[in-house]
Every structure is written in C-alpha cells, then in structure tokens.
C-alpha cells in the first residue's frame, strides 16, 4: 500500500525481468494521490519475462505489499 511513499524503497532493489513496480519521475509518473497499484502476477510475470516464483520472492521482501 502507498506505492508513492515507498517508491524509492521499491526501486532500490532488483525486480524480476523488466518489471518496474512504480514510476516516480517523467511523463508517466504515478499521481501523488495513488494509494495502491494492482497487478495480476501471472500476467505481469509472463509480460516481463520472469517466473511467478521470482515475482513471489520479490514481493515477499516488503511488508507493506498486500498479497
């Protein structure tokens, strides 16, 4: 929850494939009012060239991510 507040922390670690959990700068940055970002892990894993197991391991590093 609150991906903007935790944005720098989310971006400080390697994510599987080419997945980027939040965009903090540039034209497509998240709005300050963003309270949550929802993804469907199986689809995002496939799109980003990662495995579901890699996604699970990445998400489990953070206690503020609801799973």
DSSP letter for each residue of 14-55: --STT--S---SSTTPPPTT-------HHHHHHHHT--HHHH
pLDDT value at residue 1: 64
The number of domains in the chain is 1
Q: Is residue 54 part of a domain?
A: yes
In a domain, 64, yes or no: no
Average of per-residue pLDDT values in the chain: 81
The stretch 46-50 carries a mean pLDDT of 92
Task: Give 1-26 pLDDT, tens digit per residue.
Answer: 677 778 788 888 888 888 877 776 76
Question: Is the entire prediction scored with pTM above 0.75?
Answer: no
Whether 66 maps to a domain, the answer reads no
Report how far apart, in Å, the C-alpha atoms of 67 and of each of 17, 29, 40 are. Answer: 20, 23, 11
Name every residue whose Cβ is closer than 8 Å to that of residue 57 and which is 6 or more positions away in sequence. 16
Domain that residue 41 falls in: 7-59
């Amino acid at each position: 929850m609150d991906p903007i507040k935790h944005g720098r922390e989310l971006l400080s670690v390697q994510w599987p494939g080419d997945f980027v959990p939040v965009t903090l700068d540039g034209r497509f940055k998240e709005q300050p009012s963003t309270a949550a970002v929802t993804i469907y892990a199986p689809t995002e894993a496939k799109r980003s060239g990662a495995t579901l197991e890699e996604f699970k391991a990445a998400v489990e590093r953070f206690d503020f991510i609801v799973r």
